[in-house]
Amino acid sequence: MIETVILLSVLGAFLSMDITMFGQFMISRPIFAGPLIGYILGDIQTGFWLGMIVEMMWINTVPLGSSIPVDLTMMTVLSVSWTCLHFKGSQDGAIFALAMAIPFAYLYREIDIGGRNFNTKIMHWIEKGLEQGKEYRISLGLYSGLGLFLLRAFIVYAVFMILGGLIYVNMKVYIPVTLEIAFKKAWYYLPVFGFGLVLHNFKNVVRFPFFNRKK
Amino acid sequence: MINNRVGTRLFLRTFFLQSLWNFERLQNIGFLYVLYPVFKKLYPDKEKRKEILLRHVGFFNTNPYMANIVFAMIINAEEEIAAGKSANTKKPEMLKSVMSGPIAAIGDSFFWGTWRPVTAFVAILLSILAINIFDADFLWVAPVAFIFLYNVVHILFRYWIFVISFRLNEQMIKLVAKFEITYIGDIVRIIGIAAVFTTLYFYFDLFGFAPAVNIYSMDCTIPEIGIYGVILLFSFVFGKIRPVIMFYCAILFSFVIGYLGL
């Protein structure tokens, strides 16, 4: 169990790194991260379904300028992991896990903001170094920022996965039947909410390009 | 000055642009990190290089996919200054501040506002088709298709603008102005809308009309097509509601539907 948590935390940290820190190859997006974690834990269906729901409902969430959005990778990785580790194949368990993972993802956003504030200190350290002719601080500072991010994300993933997992398992047992039915229904309803949101997102096609091109 | 080896090294370094992203000057250290090998070649004298590095440590922010245009133009400008062909030492700074905003708007709107959601949705469509035809055995298609489709365009575009910006230099501004990004974006969005409607058809076919061909072969309640219609209309009309609120509203809605036995 502990080996699985460590593996998932390392993987989660690397996936989260893709959001802003390195590359932006979109491996951090829920539609990729969800099935990947599900595949590793032997339940690609749950991984895909949760990833699809998060991807569509948070379709417009990307880091623009100085805004720090909620970490969708953490939301997906935590919910898929909790479900696959404790209630594999359970639809209501999966939706409950997602409902529980959202506050954790928001909490991580605050931790991430703190980390980025620390990056400002590293940046000033590099600038001071440049004034003294210490050019090596550019690479060292940048790799340190990257390393600290990975370490921070790994620790947070591991703690949230263990503590959140314990809370999840204990609360799931006491969920009343009516709520279980609601979660089972939400398994099918949530993608439809997502389809509507995606259509809303695309509706700003104000002109039909083949006939309305600017002269 | 910039041979293939240095060019490749610079291109790989561009992926680190946001590695020390900070609230005060955003991508400034990433910018220095990318261009450091060039400054080292252009200014072998350490004191002179110090001056250049400090000049470039200021605020920098643009879309990371489009930043290669700024990098190439600044390298060209710095080469001219270092070779004594130009005395305008403020030109690189000016290029940074003038180019960053407009190209960021193009990159954000096309890549993050259009290409990413559309490729993600095409991947979802492929998965729903896979569930429909092969009974969930080919679900791995979704993530693979998404990463492949997205990155083929993303990486090739990043490489192409890096190379072409070196060649065209300031003519690149004219080329950027000519980018028919709204036109291309509209076509991609129309493909996205077509993908959404196709997915809706297959989704309703799977889970809406008859006993579900479930993603799991376990008992579950069968949602009604009418309820789906209400949900679709609600989320389309009130799409501006924050996703987190929409999510918990959906759970509440499911609870009410379940409680009423619908």
Q: What's the DSSP call for residue B26?
A: B
Residue A29 phi/psi, 5° resolution?
-70, 145
| Cβ-contact A79, A98 below 8 angstroms | yes
Residue in A14, A22, A192, A197 to test binding to B, most B beta-carbons within 10 Å: A192
Average pLDDT over residues B168-186: 79
Average pLDDT over residues B49-70: 93
Residue in B18, B20, B42, B187 to test binding to A, most A beta-carbons within 10 Å: B20
State the smallest CA–CA distance between residue B44 and chain A in angstroms.
13
C-beta atoms of B243 and A61 within 8 A = yes
Instruction: Find the CB nearest A133 among B50, B113, B207.
Output: B50
Instruction: Find the CB nearest B236 among A27, A70, A196.
Output: A196
Higher pLDDT, B181 or B63: B63
C-beta atoms of B231 and A192 within 8 A = yes
pLDDT at B207 > cutoff 50: yes
State the smallest CA–CA distance between residue A172 and chain B in angstroms.
15
Model confidence at B205, pLDDT cuts 50, 70, 90, reads confident
Residues with pLDDT less than 70, chain A: 204-215
pLDDT at B247 > cutoff 90: yes
Q: Which residues of B touch A31 (CB under 8 A)?
A: 120, 123-124, 142-143, 146
Q: Which residues of B touch A143 (CB under 8 A)?
A: 19
C-beta atoms of A91 and B220 within 8 A = yes
Nearest CA in chain B to A142: B20
The pLDDT assigned to B217 comes to: 41
The pLDDT assigned to B203 comes to: 85
The pLDDT assigned to B145 comes to: 92
